[in-house]
C-alpha cells in the first residue's frame, strides 16, 4: 500500500481554505486517498467535512495512503506514490502560501 508522511504547515491546520485546497487536489487525482495522524483512524481525504472534523492541526504529521484495491496494473503503485508525494508537498507548502499576519 503506497504511503507518504507529511507535516501540516498551514497556520490554521487543515481548516477552511487549506482544507478545501487539499481536498480539491485529492479529488483531481482520482484516487481514494486516506489521511491519518498518529493515534487516530484515517479519514477519506476526498471529503472536506471529514478532513476538517479530523482536526489536523498546524505542525502535526499525517500519513497519506492509497489502498491496494484502488491500484490496477503494475505502474499504478509508482503513480500512486508520486501522487502522494505531490499531496505531501502541497501540505508542506501551504504554510508558505499564507499571507503574513497583520499586527
Q: Is 15 a catalytic residue?
A: yes
Task: Name the one residue in this structure whose C-alpha cell is 487516530.
Answer: 40
pLDDT grade for 98, boundaries at 50, 70 and 90: low
pTM of the model: 0.88
Query: Of residues 4, 15, 58, 103, which has the active-site annotation?
Result: 15
**What does the pLDDT look like over 27-85, one tens digit per residue?**
999 999 999 998 899 999 999 999 999 999 999 999 999 987 777 766 687 889 999 99
Q: Answer whether residue 101 shows pLDDT above 60.
A: no
Q: What is the pLDDT of residue 102?
A: 43
Sign of torsion over alpha carbons 10, 14, 17, 18: positive
Q: Answer whether residue 103 shows pLDDT above 70.
A: no
Amino acid at each position: 500500500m503506497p504511503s507518504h508522511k507529511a507535516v501540516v504547515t498551514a497556520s490554521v491546520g487543515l481548516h477552511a481554505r487549506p482544507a478545501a485546497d487539499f481536498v480539491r487536489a485529492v479529488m483531481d487525482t482520482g484516487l481514494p486517498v486516506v489521511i491519518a495522524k498518529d493515534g487516530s483512524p484515517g479519514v477519506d481525504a476526498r471529503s472536506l467535512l471529514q478532513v476538517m472534523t479530523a482536526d489536523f492541526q498546524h505542525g502535526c504529521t499525517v500519513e497519506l495512503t492509497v489502498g491496494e484495491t484502488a491500484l490496477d496494473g503494475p505502474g499504478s503503485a509508482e503513480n500512486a506514490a508520486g501522487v502522494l508525494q505531490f499531496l505531501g508537498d502541497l501540505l508542506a507548502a501551504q504554510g508558505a502560501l499564507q499571507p503574513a499576519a497583520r499586527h
